[in-house]
Amino acid sequence: MQELSMNTYYARKTKDTRIQTLCEHSKNVEEFCKSFGAKIGVAKTASLCGKLHDIGKATEEFQQYLLGESDKKEVRLIIQVQAVNWHTLFLLKRIHLKRLPLK
């Protein structure tokens, strides 16, 4: 597999089968979450959640899976990515509600 830089991590295949970069996808989701969060007074927190929601995809394993170069460990990988997503959202919610001090 080719060596990856921050600009070449991929997030997903679009409906038209284009492979969207993780940076582009995260920016799109960040903006969507920010505008949605602004309606309920949590724009900054929602923006951060959107930005980080797919951070688990910045791994060689996920990149191999997405590009079709994996050895079919898809279920384990999907579970790991989703666990990171949900854990990140949980921590950000706790921080926002001031139930998890940042010390």
Interval 37-96: pLDDT, tens = 888 888 899 899 888 888 888 888 788 777 776 655 665 667 677 777 777 777 777 777
Q: What angle do CA 11, 43, 32 make, to 5 degrees?
A: 35
Query: Can you say whether residue 41 is alpha, beta or left, with left for phi > 0 and alpha for psi between -120 and 50 degrees?
Result: left
- pLDDT category at 1 given cuts 50, 70, 90 is very low
- Report if pTM > 0.85: no
Tokens read off for 26: 């995260």
pLDDT at 6: 52
Minimal CA–CA distance to 8: which of 80, 65, 63? 63
Structural contact between residues 56 and 72, judged by C-beta atoms closer than 8 angstroms: no
Interval 44-60: pLDDT, tens = 998 998 888 888 888 88
Instruction: Quickly list H helices, the chain.
Output: 22-38, 43-52, 60-66, 74-96
